[in-house]
Amino acid sequence: MYLQELQLQHFRNYPEADIRLGRGINVLLGENAQGKTNLLEAIYVLALTRSHRTANDHDLVNWQAKTAKVSGRVVKSAGTVPLELTFSRQGKRAKVNHLEQARLSQYVGQLNVILFAPEDLAIVKGAPSIRRRFMDMEFGQMNPRYLYNLSQYRTLLKQRNRYLKDLQHKQKRDLLFLSVLSDQLALYGAEIIAQRLRMLHKLEHWAQVIHAEISQQRETLTFHYATQVPDEALTDAKSIQAALSALYEKQRDKELYQGTTLVGPHRDDLHFWVNDKNVQTFGSQGQQRTTALSVKLAEIDLMKEETGEYPVLLLDDVLSELDDARQTHLLTAIQDKVQTFITTTSLSGITRQLIKDPTIFHVADGTVVADGSPTSDDSATKED
């Protein structure tokens, strides 16, 4: 799939913008603080209805305005889909094919994006919450069922934690209600863990091939899903559900004492191992970067496998963080295959040599101007 055009109204520092995008590599060129990341963020928001930079939708609205709009046209093998999102004090509204969607989960998945920013290099080294967020964002985009389970789980988790707090402060005494909540939580928690395992298994396969290639066959990458659910129960959702219920039972006193839920996918983690050692603890910085890059590139292939379409790739200032060999690998892997947006302050060195026929946009103070006339359709490739 690819994004053919993008329109912004009062989005961040853009009063108005209407651009036709290139089918291949799009370079957003400009000085610092001009709006390059804002443009990338607009594409991310158009795909997922929420930003990767802020949890507060109102930050997306221009400071002088009350409402922001992002719209675009996505070209897929099945046809072209117009998408539109509006953000205001009343909340957000999402339209697919000009029809308003009652649920945002019905909207997500129309446009698939993968964002790669310098923070993503922290996927290996950073806190477990970064890796959980990574799984949730990526798998949620590929699979509406995952998104549904996740939203049910989050609502129940909040409710259960509140109830545990009430029990802790002796405002409630009904342990039967706690076990009702535990059963519900175990049901959705098990679905999430089972889906994560299934998707991780596929992602690992793609990441292994890429990692071996970048490391010139010297290294083998493996994934390890870290959970309190015992290994022997990790076979299917039903067994995971039973194991989670048993764990709630076993840890009930501890949970009552702490007033919070201590077991479940919201506490799980993902570990990356290189040559049988945890790369988070024992890997060099280079190995950690190779791992992060392999995982990100593997997502492209996984998304194609799961949805039948290549996603759109957003590279926010990431090339400058990679050495020449890794940059070369990245750009060669995506060239002629994936529509890509790259933000940068200058297009030079290895990047310029490697990118064939880029569509260049100059970004300055909330305006975006194409370099010459974009040849988006001329440079179209056959594959999606």
Ligand X SMILES: Nc1ncnc2c1ncn2[C@@H]1O[C@H](COP(=O)(O)OP(=O)(O)OP(=O)(O)O)[C@@H](O)[C@H]1O
Interface pick for ligand X out of 12, 211, 304, 326 (rule CB under 6 A): 12
The nearer residue to ligand X, 38 or 291, going by C-beta atoms, is 38
Closest contact distance (angstroms) between CB of 32 and ligand X is: 3
Whole-number Å distance between alpha carbons of 202 and 208: 10
Whole-number Å distance between alpha carbons of 233 and 231: 5
Closest contact distance (angstroms) between CB of 36 and ligand X is: 4
Sheet containing 359-364: give its strands across. Answer: 113-116, 312-316, 340-344, 25-29, 359-364, 367-370
Interface pick for ligand X out of 55, 63, 89, 171 (rule CB under 6 A): 63
Separation in Å, CA 237 to CA 106, 240, 262, 351 = 24, 5, 19, 45
Q: Determine if 33 is a binding residue for ligand X (CB under 6 A).
A: yes
Tally Cβ neighbours within 10 Å of residue 301. 19
The nearer residue to ligand X, 15 or 349, going by C-beta atoms, is 15
Separation in Å, CA 119 to CA 25, 152, 339 = 22, 28, 21
Closest contact distance (angstroms) between CB of 363 and ligand X is: 6
Q: Determine if 52 is a binding residue for ligand X (CB under 6 A).
A: no
Closest contact distance (angstroms) between CB of 30 and ligand X is: 5
The helix or strand, by DSSP H or E, that contains position 241, with its residue range, turns out to be helix 237-250
Q: Determine if 37 is a binding residue for ligand X (CB under 6 A).
A: yes
The nearer residue to ligand X, 20 or 362, going by C-beta atoms, is 362
Beta bridge pairs of residue 81:
74
Whole-number Å distance between alpha carbons of 334 and 313: 9
The nearer residue to ligand X, 48 or 303, going by C-beta atoms, is 48
Q: Determine if 62 is a binding residue for ligand X (CB under 6 A).
A: yes
Q: Determine if 280 is a binding residue for ligand X (CB under 6 A).
A: no
Closest contact distance (angstroms) between CB of 63 and ligand X is: 4
Closest contact distance (angstroms) between CB of 343 and ligand X is: 6
Beta bridge pairs of residue 362:
29, 369
Residues annotated in the binding site for ATP, as ranges? 30-37
The nearer residue to ligand X, 12 or 304, going by C-beta atoms, is 12
- Cα 247 to chain center, whole Å? 30
Q: Determine if 32 is a binding residue for ligand X (CB under 6 A).
A: yes
Helices 144-168, 175-214: crossing angle, 10 deg rounding: 140
Q: Determine if 36 is a binding residue for ligand X (CB under 6 A).
A: yes
The nearer residue to ligand X, 34 or 141, going by C-beta atoms, is 34
Q: Determine if 296 is a binding residue for ligand X (CB under 6 A).
A: no
**Count of residues interacting with ligand X (CB under 6 A):** 16
| Exposure string over 73-101, b if 16+ CB within 10 A, otherwise e | bbbbeeeeebbbbbbeeeebbbebeeeeb
Query: For residues 330-369, which are near ligand X according to CB under 6 A?
Result: 343, 345
The footprint of ligand X (CB under 6 A) covers 12-13, 30, 32-38, 59, 61-63, 343, 345
